[in-house]
Structure 1
Amino acid sequence: MEQVRHKDARPTMDLVAKKIFNDPEITAEFIRDILELPVKSVKILDGTQIHGIENKDIPLYITHVDVLAELNDQTQVIIEIQVTLQADFMKRLWLYICEQVSKNLDSYKRDDVLTHHLARELIPVYAVAITEENYFEDNRAIHVFSLRDAETKEELRVKVKGIEEKRNLVQIAFLELKKYKPEMKDSYNKVRWMELFGNKPFTHKPESIITKADRVLDVKEWNKEEKAMYDEYTRAWDGWLAHLAYLEEKEEEAVERGVARGIEQGIEQGIEQGRLRELVSLVKEGLISKEVGAKKLNISEREFEKYLQ
């Protein structure tokens, strides 16, 4: 049986992950480790609230952007947690980045920044995705993408207002939890977050910030409202997963029936093709007439003549 640190908690559950990232110190350390940025402090702009929805077919508490954090230098980081495989997830992540850049531009316009000065005000928007499913075919559990030269791989960096060093305009990091292995050789500052969100035993003694984040996963310490939300979310989520499993089972049954029927039809078509070739051969050899051959196939003589050409 797979070992987990907390049998009653799911670190990637929407409201659990938000509760972890609601702590600015934890979020700052996470961004510092994963994106390797010189983060001094963090302000959480979005993701501190869990919003209820009435749709009973999906979990009851979600937000559009899981977490939006602003660093002390105004760089913004979107953190997304993905528990199921979605074909368009990477594009959706890019849309979140573009949408946030657009919102920032709108705020500059409201501040009466002249149009030709908008680019000067532009700040980087980065993203980190924590995924339970794999999106890349290699064995690397952590990927970090940025704008680079196609030949030299030199990173495209620009001067950004309020930041001393030049920055890449965009960075997107992916942590694929399913690829985690205890013997991973990546920087442990990154790996420890995979252990935290993957609910795996820590392979190193956790430092204070990880211990602090891990304590959040102790549901027994939550207040009454949070526990109620957690229980309701868990019931909804388990029901949704059961529904998906049911659909998958029915789909497999349908495929099996389709394959069986396809084989059956293939055999039937093969027999018919064989009969056709045999009758055409007999007619060409003068052993039977076209009329007899057509009757055997239950078609007209005119239709049968097409096979004799």
Structure 2
Amino acid sequence: MEKIRHKDARPMMDLMAKKIFSDTEITAEFIRDILELPVESVKILDGTQIHVTTSKILPNFTTQVDVLAELNDKTQVVIEIQVAMQVDFIKRLWLYICEQVSQNLDEYKKDGIDTHYLSRELIPVYAVAITEENYFEDDRAIHNFSLRDSETKEELKVRVKGIEEKRNLVQIAFLELKKYKPEMKASYNKVRWMELFGNKPFTHQPGNIITKADRILDVKEWSKEDKAMFDEYTRAWDGWNAHLAYIKEAQEQAKEQGIEQGLQRGLEQGIAQERAKTINIIADLVKGGLLTKEMGASKLNISEKEFEKYL
């Protein structure tokens, strides 16, 4: 049996991840380690708010999905927790960055800054994705992408207002938890985050910040309200994962038979039997704020307009 640190904890559950990243010291250390930025302090702009809701899934509380952090030098970082495989996930992550840049520029326009000078106000927006599924074919568990020259590999960096050193225009990092191995050769400052979110035993002394984050995963120490929220969310989470497992099993069985017709029949049978249940689960998650309408429609592979009739 695979060893884990916490029997009942699920660090990749949105709710638990948000509780971890709501601590600004933890988020600052995470960004400092993964993106190797000189972070002094962090402010959480989005992703930790608790909202009242009337959802059947969460009768009292729910949380947003993504985390948006702002560093002391105004650099912004999107942190995305990704459990299920999504074909367009990397493109969606890029859209998050573009959308945030656009929102920032809109704010500058409100301040009366002339369009010609908007580029002077541009601040970097980076992203980090922690994923349970693999998106890259190699064995490396940690990837960090930026704009580079095709021959020299020199990074494309620019001067940014308020920041002394030049900065990358783009930086996107991925931590693929399935590729974790205790003997990984990457810096332990990065590996320890994979052990934290992968619920793996720590192979070295993780340090005070990781120890602090690990304590947050102990549900027994949560408030009564947060514990109730966790229990309700867990039931919804288990229902969704059971659906994913059912569909995956149908796909694998058909694939093993090596018959294209069998694959299609298996998929259709699985989808037909679980469709109504899945729609209800995802609709409740969207109503409760656990998923955006865009994400709900994407999981069902339908348009947002078509999905609206279930809300």
The answer to whether 1:130 aligns with 2:130 is: yes
TM-score for the superposition, normalised by structure 1: 0.79
For the 8 Å contact 1:61–1:233, the answer to whether it is kept is no
Partner of 2:226: 226
For the 8 Å contact 2:15–2:63, the answer to whether it is kept is no
2-structure distance, mates of 1:261, 1:29: 51
Pairs within 5 Å for 1:56-205: 65-205=65-205
2:128 aligns to what SS in structure 1?
Answer: strand
TM-score for the superposition, normalised by structure 2: 0.78
Change (3 A) 1:157 1:253: closer
Higher relative contact order, structure no. (Cα contacts within 8 Å, ≥ 6 residues apart): 2
2-structure distance, mates of 1:261, 1:77: 45
1:228 aligns to what SS in structure 2?
Answer: helix
Structure 2 residue runs of 5 or longer lacking an equivalent are: 263-311
2-structure distance, mates of 1:44, 1:113: 26
2-structure distance, mates of 1:257, 1:151: 46
The answer to whether 1:240 aligns with 2:240 is: yes
Change (3 A) 1:212 1:253: closer
For the 8 Å contact 2:41–2:72, the answer to whether it is kept is yes
Change (3 A) 1:261 1:73: closer
Deviation at 1:170, TM superposition (A): 1.0
Change (3 A) 1:165 1:252: closer
The answer to whether 1:206 aligns with 2:206 is: yes
Change (3 A) 1:86 1:51: farther
| CA deviation string 1:167-194 (max 9, x = no partner) | 0111000000110000111000000100
Partner of 2:305: none
One-letter amino acid of the counterpart of residue 248, structure 1: K
| CA deviation string 1:236-271 (max 9, x = no partner) | 111111122223344556667893978xxxxxxxxx
2-structure distance, mates of 1:127, 1:211: 24
Structure 1 residue runs of 5 or longer lacking an equivalent are: 263-309
2-structure distance, mates of 1:57, 1:251: 28
Pairs within 5 Å for 1:36-51: 36-50=36-50
* Worse-matched range after superposition: 242-251 or 166-175: 242-251
One-letter amino acid of the counterpart of residue 141, structure 1: A
1-structure distance, mates of 2:86, 2:260: 30
One-letter amino acid of the counterpart of residue 138, structure 1: D
1-structure distance, mates of 2:206, 2:260: 54
For the 8 Å contact 1:15–1:50, the answer to whether it is kept is no
Partner of 1:30: 30
1-structure distance, mates of 2:91, 2:108: 26
2:164 aligns to what SS in structure 1?
Answer: coil
Deviation at 1:57, TM superposition (A): 9.7
Number of residue pairs the alignment of both structures matches: 261
1:165 aligns to what SS in structure 2?
Answer: strand
Partner of 1:284: none
2-structure distance, mates of 1:57, 1:149: 49
1:164 aligns to what SS in structure 2?
Answer: strand
For the 8 Å contact 1:155–1:168, the answer to whether it is kept is yes
Deviation at 1:203, TM superposition (A): 0.6
2:3 aligns to what SS in structure 1?
Answer: coil
1:130 aligns to what SS in structure 2?
Answer: strand
* Worse-matched range after superposition: 253-262 or 61-70: 253-262
1:159 aligns to what SS in structure 2?
Answer: strand
2-structure distance, mates of 1:187, 1:248: 34
What is the CA RMSD across the aligned residues, in angstroms? 2.4
| CA deviation string 1:3-27 (max 9, x = no partner) | 0000101001001000000000000
For the 8 Å contact 2:33–2:189, the answer to whether it is kept is yes
Change (3 A) 1:103 1:131: same
Change (3 A) 1:103 1:183: same
Q: Identity of counterpart residues, as a percentage? A: 79
2:160 aligns to what SS in structure 1?
Answer: coil
